[in-house]
Structures are given as structure tokens and as C-alpha cells.
Chain A
């Protein structure tokens, strides 16, 4: 399919646009062949493909520890989790393709173009405790976001999210269990998990994106019911859920300003270092270059497999190739 043109302000038929927005307001599900404004298609393609890329690149920091898992149980859990993340990427690519862009092109935009992925995967996994903290905090934050997206107005996205949410609870629980185990272990183990929490806490809060006042795409996505809650609301929900979980296993969160607001029941937290966030988004996080290099290497070294399978199919089952 042709590369999508990017007109600055697509002019839409005002009647169709009003009808479409009324459908969103009524909470109806938008399906692939329904009429939709070009901007909805573009925003969703960007958001969903970014999400899919994140799932796939997310396999790297955890995959880093598979060979060094301390026992067979943990190793099996970690392999299963990393495999799930690959599956999540595929669910979302499949949903994104229904908007009219081939997966090959989406992956191309990511590996050789300007497509982004979640900032969180540009941090290194320095110790085994990072594996627990990623499951607990990073998957925990993803669950808060994805639970909302399971109600997104675009049917294929919402359905992919429902499938993903069913699997994420395993991810979070195995991580939390790992953290709890280390937290009641030797002083060295406890120090290791506390250090991992200290390093991952703020990047986890950044996963929800910029403040609402500073989030360029938020207004459209909220108006069209792709998102139902703002970045700041989701972040607050995550903090409220996580503070008691940290307390329960005797770990602290690295924020001197963290305190319970009795009136609202919210845990108030300090200001995020947005300069760090912006640097990571701009490609200057600790692991940006390694991540993209590892993904390109995997993609390029797998090329012969894709080509061989296609050649085999063409030789033995010529009918199958006519499908798409």
C-alpha cells in the first residue's frame, strides 16, 4: 500500500464528521470499514503501532536475564512472559493493519524511520531484581493504561487490549512475587531490590506521558474516545495502587514528597524530571541505540527465514500466495 500522505489539516465532510463524532459520543465501536476522519486513522495508526513496537522492544530488557535466571521456575516464568510480550506486539500490529498500513511498513518505520516506542524500554536491566521490578511497576503501569484502552472506540484496538489485559496480570504478579521474595531475603537481596525500585520508579511514572496540558495528541484522542482518561489521571491511579503494594513488602519509593492527601485519598507525588523524559524520547536515553541496533540485527538476520518460507510456499502451494 502507498505511503500515507500527511496533509496538514485534512478537510473532512462536515456532515460525516458530525455523524462520526456522535457515534463516538454514544460509545459506539468504530470498525475498520466504517467511515472515519483521516486524522483519527492517522492518530490511531501512530498510537497503535507505537504500542506494538513497545511490546516487541520490551522483550529485550527482560530477555537479557533469561539465561541468568536463578532457578528453573523463574526461568520458565520469564520465558513465558517475554513470549507473551511478542504476542502482544502481534495482536496490536494485526489491529493496526486494519487501518490500512501493512505490518511490513509499520516495522520499517520503526526500524529505519522515525516511529517511536515507550521511553521505559530505553533503561538497562542491571540486576536480577530489575526483572521483578519491571513486572511489578512497568507491567503494573501498562495494566492501568491498557484497562482504559480496552474501552477504546476503535474495535480492533479494544479487542486486542482485552486479550492483553487477561495476560498482564500474570506479568505483574510474577514480578511482585519476585520483589517480595527478595525484600524478605538477605540484606544484600533487599538492598538489590530497593535499588531497582529506586531506578525504575520515576521512569514508570513517565510511561503515562506528559502532563495533559503538554500532551499534543490528548485532546483528539479523548474527544474521539480512543482514551477515556487523561495521562495525569492514569498516573495518579497507578501511584494510588502501587504505594500500598510497596508498603506491604517493606520497600520505599524514592520520592520525599510522597504523602497521602486525606481529603481526596490520593497519594500526592513530587514533580517528574521532564528533561530526562524528553531526552529519552529524543533518542538519548541510556539504551536507545542498543535497543534499535538489537532489533535491526534480529530483523535482518531473520530475513533469510522469511524469504525461504515464502519461496517454499510459492513452490508447493501456489494458491496460498494469492490470498493477500
Chain B
């Protein structure tokens, strides 16, 4: 528990991911503070799923997430940006053909 300027303690931070019904992928919803995984799950349920938004919940210690850095977003994602032939629009079909 970290301690604030006036001795105010704060529980560790957890990132919350919720899965909507219907086979959707888990999506980042926000974060909660909790002393342990069990309470993190309960807090996440109370904060992020009051209206049946989720059929599954993940909580992950925030410090465990490894993220790409915004500074090298350009070069890092480059390999995916210069290959237009990966998109169907790159290919021509004869005029009038509707199957595509």
C-alpha cells in the first residue's frame, strides 16, 4: 500500500477487462484499486458491470502490462503500413461482377 502526503494509503491498481455477451472479445473497461485479486474482481464487478455488461471479467495488475511506446508508434507499426496488397481493394475485378 503506497502512502500519500497525509498518510493516506492506497491499494494497488488493477486494469479491468470485460467481455460483453455474444462472444465478443475482452475489452479494457478501466481500472480499480484493490488489495488482492479476489477483491479486485469484486470491485471490478461492482464498478463496471452493474447492467449486465459482461459475462466474463479479467483483472490484471497494472504493472504487469507491457505496452508499446507512443514515441515509436510509427516505426513499430511500419511493417503493417506499407503493404496495400494485404487489402482486398488492392485487387481489380472485371466491371459488373457483383460476387465481390
Taken together as a complex, chains A and B put the C-alpha atoms of A272 and B35 apart, in Å, by 47
Given A94-B30, A105-B8, A108-B6: A320 touches B37 (CB 8 Å cut-off): yes
Contact pick for A33, options B10, B35, B62, B69, CB 8 Å: B69
Q: Please determine whether A317 and B4 come into contact, CB atoms closer than 8 angstroms.
A: no
With both chains docked as a complex, state the minimum distance between the C-beta of A92 and any C-beta of chain B, in angstroms. 10
Give chain B residues whose Cβ lies under 8 Å from the Cβ of A102: 2, 4, 10
Contact, CB under 8 Å: A320 / B12: yes
- For the residues of A in contact with B, the DSSP-based class is helix
Residues of B within 8 Å of A314, CB to CB, are 35
Contact present for A83 and B50 (CB under 8 Å): yes
Complex contacts, B76 vs chain A, CB 8 Å: none
Checking A83, A108, A320 against B8 with a beta-carbon cut-off of 8 angstroms, the contacting residue is A108
| Interface positions of A from 294 to 315, Cβ below 8 Å from B | 306-307, 309-310, 312-314
How far does the alpha carbon of A159 sit from the alpha carbon of B29 in the complex, in Å?
9
With a cutoff of 8 Å between Cβ atoms, the chain B residues found around residue A108 in the complex are 4-6, 8
For B6, the chain A residues whose CB sits under 8 A away are: 108, 112
Q: How large is the interface on A (under 10, 10 to 19, 20 to 34, 35 or more residues)?
A: 35 or more
> Could you tell me which residues of chain B, from 1 to 52, have a CB within 8 Å of some CB in chain A?
1-6, 8-14, 29-33, 35-37, 39, 46-47, 50-51
Which residue, of B14, B35, B63, has the highest number of chain A Cβ atoms within 10 A? B35
Cβ of A320: which chain B residues have Cβ within 8 Å of it?
A: 12, 35-37, 61
Interface residues of A in 71-90 (CB under 8 A from B): 80, 83-84, 87, 90
| A104 CB–B CB distance under 8 Å | yes
| A90-B61 in contact (CB<8A) | no
Cβ contact within 8 Å between A316 and B36: yes
5 nearest A-B residue pairs (beta carbon):
A323-B61, A324-B12, A104-B10, A313-B35, A313-B36
Q: Which chain A residues have a beta carbon within 8 Å of chain B's beta carbons?
A: 3, 31, 33-35, 80, 83-84, 87, 90-91, 94-95, 97, 102-105, 107-108, 112, 159-160, 163, 167, 306-307, 309-310, 312-314, 316-317, 320-324
* 19 CB-based A-B contacts, threshold 8 Å: A3-B5, A33-B67, A84-B50, A87-B50, A90-B47, A103-B33, A104-B2, A105-B4, A108-B4, A108-B6, A167-B50, A167-B51, A306-B1, A313-B35, A316-B36, A317-B36, A320-B61, A323-B14, A324-B12
Binding site for A on B (CB under 8 A): 1-6, 8-14, 29-33, 35-37, 39, 46-47, 50-51, 61-64, 67, 69-70
Given known contacts A320-B37, A323-B61, what 7 new A-B pairs fall within 8 Å (CB)?
A97-B31, A107-B8, A306-B1, A312-B35, A320-B12, A320-B61, A322-B61
